Structure 1
């Protein structure tokens, strides 16, 4: 328990994934066939069939499975949890997940959030208070998170959607050229359009009726849950030596987002 903060911080450091449904479901894609809603009698029977020790062990296995997935920022599907971990304990899925969620919150300072109710896809987000002056979920020692934060800032300041060439041109000004292999990031375009997208920090979408084909970026579901828009605005303000209030529309959106998260 004494390691709570350190473990949670480590989780946020390792946290730094959409291209399409095909990429999100990068394991075996069997939809949600592994899980059907049990009846109340099935739940009661399962509670009687398994001992508290057995259920405790299964809860621990689920927590471990999700933490391992989160190390690579892989969104977690209900069907994978059931198929690979819960298995014959399916009727107790809700009981097990509620207990796992309490462990994430109380022990690790994390929160399991469902970001796709239709396909039942989850991510872990950091519930601990950020260090003053540091943007939420950004790790100063990790260059990739800095790269991501710059891109999220561009998208936010441009109204929530931005063509990819705007992002590439911005990065080029920072001496990060997508046309060249970067010393720190390697293939920059692959990191941005595949890794960050798979982790659901970014969405990378085709723009209809464009020739040649163009794409645009938006904030992904994980960014919406994890990243403070006010921190983004403060970051931009520092770059331009201006107060966040200088950007009226963005400031209104940021303050609205802060209050809705409380």
Structure 2
């Protein structure tokens, strides 16, 4: 196999790996990509840009490296604007995820696990019981699946005064790229029958993150 055909073959192999990963949303390890390429790092560096370009152009799939890691996430360009590509169960999970992300956003993006679960219970979503709409093991979905998919970040509290281990939740990297904070705020405000600008602190933070300081408001 000549070098050009080898490059095409390797590109197609990596494309297949990414496409098979889109649905489960688990980050792809760089070492798994290298394994497919016979651990040839030079070939990987040559091939990856072609894979990223092809996936975006042909399939509308975005591939991004997770900062500070050797892992990559992939998602459809339609992810944040349409639910047409999801089945009923996935839509239910996305609904729960949106509720959680909205709450985290309003609470400055970092809350105690107990506080989060109490908030959900106030919405009649008890993570210790099967819900008629969301179904399944909600505690596992939130604390395991969403975390592994990088929608949520779950970390131990570093407070020395805690007698028991406490966990804190915040937005994961995948959530930050798939769900613009400003859009989540606008949808949340609409549900509450308010204007996004009424939530001054959150609105201004979203504007700063978007480098859109001209639209900031004064409380």
TM-score range (shorter-chain normalised) is: 0.7 to 0.9
Q: Is the 8 A contact 1:203 1:220 kept in 2?
A: yes
Q: TM-score, normalised by structure 2?
A: 0.85
Using the TM superposition, give the Cα deviation of residue 124 of structure 1 relative to its aligned residue in structure 2, in angstroms: 1.2
Q: Are the structure 2 counterparts of residues 179 and 129 from structure 1 closer, same or farther at C-alpha, using a change threshold of 3 Å?
A: closer
- C-alpha distance in 2 between matches for 1:120 and 1:188: 29
Q: How is 1:4-153 mapped onto 2 (pairs within 5 angstroms)?
A: 50-83=2-35, 85-87=36-38, 89-117=40-68, 119-128=69-78, 131=81, 141=88, 142-153=91-102
Matched, 1:231 2:187: no
From 169, 183, 199, the equivalent of 1:247 is: 199
Aligned to 1:192: 142
TM superposition shift of 1:185 = 3.0
Contact 2:185–2:203 (CA<8 Å) still a contact in 1? yes
Unaligned runs of 5+ in 2: 213-219
Q: Give the alignment's TM-score, normalised by structure 1.
A: 0.72
Contact 1:76 1:123 in 2 (8 A): yes
Higher RCO (C-alpha 8 Å, min separation 6)? 1
Distance apart, 1:138 and its partner CA: 10
Return closer, same or farther for 1:239/1:166 CA change in 2, 3 Å cut-off.
farther
| RMSD of aligned Cα (Å) | 2.4
Q: Any conservation in 1 of the 2:14–2:33 contact (CA below 8 Å)? A: yes
Tell me the secondary structure at the aligned position of residue 87 of structure 1: coil
The equivalent residue for 2:124 is 175
For structure 1, the residue ranges without an aligned partner over 5 or more in a row are: 1-48
Mapped partners of 1:220, 1:82: distance in 2: 25
